[in-house]
Amino acid sequence: MPLSIKTLDLAAQNAGERARKAGVTIRELRDLPEAHAMIELLTEIWGRPLITVEFLRALTRAGNYVAGAYDGGRLVGVCIGFHEEPAARTLHSHVAGVAPGLSGRGVGTALKLHQRAWALTRDIPTIEWTFDPLVSRNAHFNIVRLGALPVEYLTNFYGAMHDAVNGADETDRLVVRWSLLSPRVVAACSGTPFERPARGPSSRRVAAPADIEALRAGDAAAAVAWRRRLRDELAPLMAAGGRVVDFDRDLGYLVDLENS
């Protein structure tokens, strides 16, 4: 059933407000020079391009999501997603990044809300993506700021990437599902605090490091130990039916075990 004009207008309004607050304009990829600029920004962030210009152009030609955040004429953020199999009615958000030095400005949030509005206008109710469960700031952003929830633990999903972000570490990932019209997500995107679940008798906390990037740079062995520890605790809980329902910067992941 098509979404109401009111729902679509609210999503567009939320996206526009976040973009104005971040001081950026967000638009979809238009031409070849913009494609080259996106590849250059991905290389600046990750130390390698991740995808090619040719593939990026093919994604846009096929109707997928490729958008950039611009501060004046400067590209400062990029978000790329592609459609999952038709029956899923889900967009897979493959990569999103912001230029170094702009963290905390809200560019990433603005990009994600633009992506949400884009998906809803195409009657796509769900967006999924992956992130490294060791990166606490990303866990907080995804789960608390956006209202997305992890649904699967993937062990060493990409293999060693050897880039500026992941280094030589194994690439465990959490798949998060962003149910775009859930009360939790609607509240988060409107800037209204939603009720955060408290720890109960059927829940468990799984700790995460405060700053894994700094740890990788200063103590690689300790970073590897964190990977194994979190994997050994969180992966079995999720495989047995435990649901990650919240994240706290100090306490880590909150896993509900009631139906596991």
pLDDT digits (tens, 9 = 90+) for 233-260: 999 999 999 999 999 999 999 999 987 6
Residue 165 is predicted with a pLDDT of 60
| Average pLDDT rounded to a whole number, residues 53-67 | 97
| Average pLDDT rounded to a whole number, residues 6-23 | 96
Nearest Cα to Cα of residue 108 among 157, 67, 164? 67
pLDDT of 21 strictly over 90? yes
Residue 254 is predicted with a pLDDT of 98
Residue 166 is predicted with a pLDDT of 59
Residue 129 is predicted with a pLDDT of 98
| Average pLDDT rounded to a whole number, residues 49-61 | 94
Q: Which of residues 196 and 65 earns the better pLDDT score?
A: 65
The pLDDT-based confidence of 42 (bands split at 50, 70, 90) is very high
pLDDT digits (tens, 9 = 90+) for 160-219: 766 556 556 789 999 999 999 999 999 999 998 888 888 889 999 999 999 998 998 889
How many beta carbons lie within 10 A of that of residue 118, not counting itself? Answer: 21
Residue 206 is predicted with a pLDDT of 98
The pLDDT-based confidence of 119 (bands split at 50, 70, 90) is very high
Q: What is the 3-state secondary structure (H, E, C) of 211-251?
A: CHHHHHHHCHHHHHHHHHHHHHHHHHHHHCCCEEEEEECCC
pLDDT digits (tens, 9 = 90+) for 4-13: 999 999 999 9
How many beta carbons lie within 10 A of that of residue 30, not counting itself? Answer: 11
Q: Which two tokens stand for residue 258?
A: 């009631």
The C-alpha atoms of residue 187 and residue 207 are separated, in whole angstroms, by: 26
Distances (CA, A) of 225 to 23, 137, 209, 217, 256: 40, 19, 11, 14, 25
pLDDT digits (tens, 9 = 90+) for 69-118: 999 999 999 999 999 999 999 999 999 999 999 988 999 999 999 999 99
pLDDT digits (tens, 9 = 90+) for 121-156: 999 999 999 999 999 999 999 999 999 999 999 999
Residue 9 burial class via C-beta count within 10 angstroms: exposed 0-12, middle 13-18, buried 19 and up:
exposed
Q: Which two tokens stand for residue 247?
A: 């994240």
Residue 77 is predicted with a pLDDT of 98
